[in-house]
Amino acid sequence: MKKSSVLSVLVVLLMVMCFTGFGVRQMEAAETREHYEIEIYTNINGTSTYVLGVALADIINKYSTWLRATAMESPGPNETAMMLINEPTQQTRAIGYLITQDALLGYPPYNGPNEDLRNLAAYGLVCNLYMTTNSELRTLKDLDGKRVALGTRPNIPRVDMQEKIFENLGVKPVYEYLPFNDAVTALSDGKIDALVGGGFAISAAADKWIPNPAMAELLARTKIYYISMEGDSLWRAKTELNHMLLPGVITVPAGKFDANWNQPVTLQADYLCWASHKNMPDDVVTEILTQMADHADEFANYIANGAYISAENMAKMDMPEWVHPAAEAFYKSRGIEINYRDK
């Protein structure tokens, strides 16, 4: 063998040894990295957000070599947001379901506008419309003078938004402010005429839906009629309240929202998002999103609306302008487009 050939072989062997050694060191570093603990704040036990928070924690703990997660109950998104804003130790250790827009506006319970929260990923698509047991109530204007259950304050989408919609339409219902489960009971007992409620998308294409679980029993024994939102009045209300959560308004074809409902329905629709404080470390954000995207198909094993989650849908957020920089970089690296608003 010629001397040059021997030299070439030696160079190749040396390169293989170096790169192999580098790869081994990288693997060893990942395996020996100190565990980093985070908490995932959900809604209360029994809600779909709680189940999906548990699912995300399970998936992270199953597949990540260094990140560990625990699902935690929270009274609601405002409480989670206030915790992240006010507790420095949680700003690098916690994520949760919250509505970034509410903090930006600074309405009670916030003590003025706050710009410190960042979206990470959407995990659901939720909607609102009106439901009634009275077949003669077909439009929002038919609810004039009727007993209508909204949510409880503070809740811009299910209280303030609804009041503004009716105000713009010149419609004056008699409002009851009730937790959703209580509203369902009141509708069943005939104590109210309609309630604002909805359901969740259960397919990645958002062409299949299920009602809020609290409605399941009532739907099983009572005929429910749906009253669509009116797109123009809804967008006007959103603009006046400066509460422009995406996607905003969608229309679902007949039979897709409810197989027993043979008319299209127009929905007030919002993406549900996991969010963090802006101080959450970039590598932690990247690891959360990596495990969520790589194992998106497993969420449906926990709950039906987990089937909505996909790597692409993760980047469809209610407030895409306020995305964490590491999340923005993650989606770019995967070739996934974030649903930025048209300029």
pLDDT of amino acid 3: 47
Pairing relation of β-strands 265-277 and 94-97? antiparallel
pLDDT of amino acid 16: 47
Residue 333 · residue 288 · CB < 8 Å: no
pLDDT of amino acid 105: 92
Q: What gap in Å lies between CA 134 and CA 188, rounded to an integer?
A: 11
pLDDT of amino acid 118: 98
pLDDT of amino acid 9: 46
pLDDT of amino acid 131: 96
In the 8-state DSSP scheme, what is residue 323?
Answer: B
pLDDT of amino acid 339: 96
Beta strands in the chain (DSSP E): 36-41, 67-72, 94-97, 117-132, 147-150, 174-177, 194-197, 199-201, 209-211, 225-227, 247-252, 265-277
Report residues of the chain scoring pLDDT below 70: 1-31, 343
pLDDT of amino acid 108: 83
pLDDT of amino acid 81: 97
Give the angle 80-157-162 at the CA atoms, nearest 5°.
150
For the chain, which domains are there? Answer: 34-123+272-333 (3.40.190.10), 126-271 (3.40.190.10)
Q: How is 193-227 classified by DSSP, letter by letter?
A: SEEEE-EEE-STTS--EEE-GGGHHHHHHS--EEE
pLDDT of amino acid 104: 94
Residue 63 · residue 291 · CB < 8 Å: yes
Q: Which of 209, 242, 215 is nearest to 127 (CA)?
A: 209
pLDDT of amino acid 46: 83
